[in-house]
Structure 1
């Protein structure tokens, strides 16, 4: 069994501050450890379910967060950013059996996590076919392009609810919830146990579930916080302005949507 893991940090158990997410800040050391431990727990669950090959995309910020020496010998780790439109899912393809997500967080525009955002803090809201979308929305549909099932997600309460709505049957582990600028978190040790058990269950029980259906036509709208960003993004071919702070792009090819998004948000 071959498994793909996309690993983020803002949904890691215990996290609360942007300082804890930034590689150059002293607080990052602790949460780099916790992020790594959650990924390792997912790997252990996958191996218990029969995985023999695991590819991990370090998908937070610099892409240089995971402590490599703690990864299992069957793993390959993708660090940094290639520039490919698959972004947080770069490295996935038709050869994988399932996709797992750790450390995931709520989308921009909601109050479920004080670190909620979508791709960049310059985006105030991302809309996909009229519905506010998260990074997981894009990534699960990206996986579906390859016929890849999204079977497990660990992250804050809000993104777990969104994942269950988009992918019925997905196994989730809720790590924390936000209340204003604070977070209420499970103990990291308890979360690691739940991740390990949840991944093993997901890979054993839900492997027959179908990937989410990619709509025949997709319209993506980015609402920026600053009109300057919307003006710059409007120069991508096929993009149209949608008010002073927003741009939109439509296609019946989801890869073209991902490609446009990759450049529009840059």
Structure 2
């Protein structure tokens, strides 16, 4: 069994402010360590469930966050941004049995995480087929393109609830809950234990209910915070500039949607 893990930071237990998520800030080193510990716990859970290979995508900001010396020897790590439209899922392919998401956060405009956003700070809303999408939405549909089920997610409580709407059989661990600019969170050690045990349990069962439904066609709508970003993105082939801050793109192939997101944003 091969397991692919996408690792972000804004859904890590305890994280509350942007200073804790940005490289170069004094608080970043502490939360980089918590991000790594949660990721290692997921790897250990996957190994305990029978994984023969584990591939990790460092998927936050610079994509150079995880402390490599802490990773188990059986882990392969993908760092940096290749430019491929799979973005946070780069490295996944049809050979994987399961996808796992660690440190995930809710979408832009939600109040379940002080750091909620979608891809960049310039997007106020991203919709796929009329539903407001999160980064998990995009990534779970990316995994589904390769026929890989999305089996487990750890992140804020709102993200966990949204994940279950898209993927009915996914297992989750709610690491924190947002209250305006504040959070109520598991301790880092409790989060690590819950993730390790949760991933093992999630991968030790029938994964048939862990595949999101793939539509026959896809409509992407991106609403930016200012008209400037919309104007820049409007030159992508096939894009409609339907409002000052809003772009629309349609395709029958979800990879086309991913590619549009990659270049428009």
Q: Which residue of the partner structure matches residue 95 of structure 2?
A: 95
Equivalence map 1:127-142=2 (5 Å) = 127-142=127-142
Deviations 1:68-104 (A, max 9, x none): 0111111100000000000000000000000000000
Q: Which residue of the partner structure matches residue 71 of structure 2?
A: 71
SS in structure 2 of the partner of residue 242 of structure 1: strand
SS in structure 2 of the partner of residue 213 of structure 1: coil
Q: Which residue of the partner structure matches residue 153 of structure 1?
A: 153
Deviations 1:30-76 (A, max 9, x none): 00000000000001100110111100000000000000011111110
Q: Which residue of the partner structure matches residue 239 of structure 1?
A: 239
How many residue pairs get aligned? The number is 265
Pairwise CA RMSD: 0.7
Q: Which residue of the partner structure matches residue 6 of structure 2?
A: 6
Please identify, of 2-11 and 205-214, the stretch whose mean Cα deviation from structure 2 is larger: 205-214
Distance 1:50 1:81 in 2: 29
Q: Which residue of the partner structure matches residue 191 of structure 1?
A: 191
SS in structure 2 of the partner of residue 92 of structure 1: coil
Find out whether 1:83 has 2:83 as its counterpart.
yes
- Residue 209 of structure 1 deviates from its aligned partner by 2.9
Please identify, of 20-29 and 135-144, the stretch whose mean Cα deviation from structure 2 is larger: 20-29
Unaligned runs of 5+ in 1: none
- Residue 20 of structure 1 deviates from its aligned partner by 0.5
Find out whether 1:229 has 2:229 as its counterpart.
yes
Q: TM-score w.r.t. structure 2 length?
A: 0.99
- Residue 200 of structure 1 deviates from its aligned partner by 0.5
Find out whether 1:166 has 2:166 as its counterpart.
yes
Q: Which residue of the partner structure matches residue 209 of structure 1?
A: 209
Shift in alpha-carbon separation, 1:65–1:241, aligned structure 2, 3 A: same
- Residue 208 of structure 1 deviates from its aligned partner by 3.3
Alignment check: 8 A CA contact 1:151 1:206 kept: no
Shift in alpha-carbon separation, 1:81–1:173, aligned structure 2, 3 A: same
Q: Which residue of the partner structure matches residue 45 of structure 1?
A: 45
Q: TM-score w.r.t. structure 1 length?
A: 0.98
Give structure 1 regions of 4+ aligned residues with deviation exceeding 4 angstroms: none
